[in-house]
Amino acid sequence: SRTPLHLPCENGHTDVRFPTRNTCQLNTHDSFKKSPLMKAVEHQHRDCVAILLEHGANPGFKDPCGNTALHLAAIIPSESVVELLLEHNADIDAQNMLGYTPLAMAIVERCDDMVKFLL
């Protein structure tokens, strides 16, 4: 099940400002156990990511595999989204269920530019 925030974030609608002003829960998950922030990251909607983080979305929220938004951004790869997440205190050393950090994920996925960026 999705919250009113999941779909706009997945589709990159920057009008997510409206729901976040009300009582919308920023850190809930959908049926895939992904937060609105994770959906925005997965679909590379940087503006939505920025708005969610400004309103208090938790960059440390984990999916069932233990991946954070930073893990996802590292393998997309999106340097601008990674930079934004790091500016909002995303944990660069967070480990998923396999013990992989975002850097390790970028290495495994052969995202060479992202590896250089994270180093």
| For residue 18, pLDDT beyond 70 | no
When pLDDT is averaged across residues 23-32 and rounded to a whole number, the result is 66
When pLDDT is averaged across residues 27-51 and rounded to a whole number, the result is 84
Sign for the CA dihedral angle at 46, 117, 85, 61 comes to positive
CA atoms within 13 A on the CB side of 91: 13
Q: What total number of domains does the chain contain?
A: 1
Domain that holds residue 106: 6-118
Residue 25: CATH number of its domain:
1.25.40.20
pTM: 0.79
| For residue 27, pLDDT beyond 90 | no
Residue 94 lies in a domain: yes
Question: What was the pLDDT predicted at 31?
Answer: 65
Per-residue pLDDT of 106-116, as tens digits, reads 999 999 999 99
Phi-psi domain of 72 (left: phi exceeds 0; alpha: psi -120 through 50; beta: other) = alpha
Q: How is residue 38 written in tokens?
A: 């994770």
Q: How is residue 119 written in tokens?
A: 């180093």
Residue 1 lies in a domain: no
